[in-house]
Amino acid sequence: MANNSTFEDALLRLKSLTDLTDINPEVIEALLHPKEIMSVSLPVRMDNGSKQYFTGYRCRYNNILGPTKGGIRFHPQVNQDEVKALALWMTIKCAVAELPFGGGKGGVTVSPKDLSPMELERLSRAYVRSLADFIGPHRDIPAPDVYTNSRIMGWMMDEYESVKREHSPDVITGKPIELGGSVGRDDATGRGAYLCALELIKKMEWQATEITVAVQGFGNGGYHVARLLQQAGCKIIAISDSLGGIYSEQGFDIESLWQEKQQSRKIRGVYCDGSICEMIEHTTISNEQLLTLDVDILIPAALEGVITRHNADAIQAKAIIEIANGPILYEADKIIHEKGIRVVPDVLANAGGVSVSYFEWVQNRSGQIWLIDEVHQKLKDKMTDAFLNVWQIAEDEKLSLREAAYVKALRRINSAISAHGTKEYFAKQ
């Protein structure tokens, strides 16, 4: 990316829509400015007795549609700029999925793999203690993100309840089921992307059994979308993680790869029958090589900014489904679009996670417990409706799917802002 920061890149994409839509300029202007952001220093007593300080952030970007909602990531590259961009995308995402939430996001600049389990717990609790008045069930509801999980969410909920001296399961989503979490949350992001992929395959009039797929990123989202697409008949021919990837024209058994990664922490071409795993022929590739493979569907499921103007011309996939947030930079969008590549944007494709987080929040607030089939059906309805609505806008108004998703979101936000009154209303008075 030239000299643009992640947040500036996100704003460029937003500003580019001004002339494409009937959105009131006040709405675009409102979304250029985050509502509030907090930066905190987190002192943590380490196992060796020393004290270290970590920087944490939380951004409540826009709450016109409801309390803000968004994950917390623990990553060495977390910074305020990134958190603002992610919170803006969450604002758009919640509006696309028609959830009663605004957008928020948080994170801590830390390499969690360098911490012991007890140090990780102390850091998680310190984060919530510092932000206990910034978050809340009616104000801002965190969830897991990169390098955070249900256990960490459980620690955070427990700390919030200790500070507030009240039972508040609805303050955090993505918790362990035993602590008020929802079934179906573990694979929700990947399942949501999978449901979008199924609808795309129908619209493109493809046959699932003839589809080849490459997935960059083999964390929770990448694993589950690959697993579900393989079950639907697609051939997953390439998988990668932060250390690199593997490729086989014959495809991989995703469950075997996942089992091997849990044991060895490496992605290796194997086929497992029970506890017996055998190596299968495969080629080692880089993450950059995976992005340029000749496949039907490319799924970036790692971090933002992996497709730029420098490598966009080399992309050969017929379609891209974004599970990562912002994997295609604004400057690369035009190149990808001109190549005729269909992109199911992140604000639609990865909305499964926040949708099931919403289901969890509803269950916590109502005292209900939904069964897995009910959660899966509600998610299918939510994602299918969102995809078809975005597709129809794109077809009717000759827009890309990304532009159509933003238009859908902005119109919903526009209606809410207009209900308070805009310049046109007050000028008439």
**Active site positions, annotated:** 105
Alpha-carbon dihedral angle through residues 15, 20, 26, 27, given to the nearest 10 degrees: -80
Rounded Cα gap, residues 184 and 370, in angstroms: 10
Alpha carbons 160 and 172: distance in angstroms, whole number: 9
* Residue linked to tokens 């590739």: 285
Burial of 366 by CB count in 10 Å (0-12 exposed, 13-18 middle, 19+ buried)?
exposed
Distance CA 409, CA 393 (A): 11
Task: Classify residue 255 by burial, with Cβ atoms within 10 Å: 0-12, 13-18, 19+.
Answer: middle
CA atoms of 136 and 140, how far apart (whole Å): 5
SS3 state of residue 356: helix
Find out whether 12 and 330 touch, Cβ atoms under 8 Å: yes
Contacts with 347 (C-beta within 8 Å, 6 or more apart), sequence order: 89, 92, 93, 96, 402, 405, 406, 409
For 242-259, give the DSSP string: TTEEEE-TT---HHHHHH
Instruction: Dihedral sign for Cα 124, 129, 134, 139, please.
Output: positive
